[in-house]
Amino acid sequence: MESIIQQCRDKYFKLAPSKIHGIGIIAIRSISKDTFLFEDPIKAQFIPYETLYSGVQKGVIKSLNKHFAHNKEGIELPTNINYIQFVNFINHSKQHNTRCISDLHSNKYYTNRRIQNGEELCINYLEDDYCPSCIDFKVK
């Protein structure tokens, strides 16, 4: 039970409508600079559309495209598509307030300045501090 209580203490944000685009990650309280926000395990695989089209209904593929990184050739899917990955909801801003630190096993997201209650968490897709494998998919 203490683990669940600690998770509640460490809760900083919610998913909500974004002023930038679609759904975003919105702070539910003030967050100090250099605060750990969440971890995104690197457990995804790029699946070509030609492979998906041979066994998955088009409506499902359309839905997956709304939630996961993709380009013209295919889509990058996590090993469990029913697991909500917060990184899928982090929007772009040149005045970003979040940074990503990557290693071989995961991407860890931290604040790079103080964030106010109600402010959207954003990352700059064009800078090196963002997950490099997602840049081609999310920047048009």
Indicate the pTM of the whole model: 0.70
66-86 pLDDT, tens per residue? Answer: 777 778 888 888 777 766 678
**What are the chain's domains?**
2-40+87-122 (2.170.270.10)
pLDDT at 102 over 50: yes
3-60 pLDDT, tens per residue? Answer: 778 877 888 999 999 998 889 999 999 999 999 998 887 677 888 999 988 888 988 9
Q: How confident is the model at residue 107 (pLDDT cuts 50, 70, 90)?
A: confident
| Length, in residues, of the chain | 140
74: which strand partners? Answer: 48
Looking at residue 140, its pLDDT comes to 42
Higher pLDDT pick, 115 / 77 = 115
52 membership: H or E segment, kind and range: helix 49-53
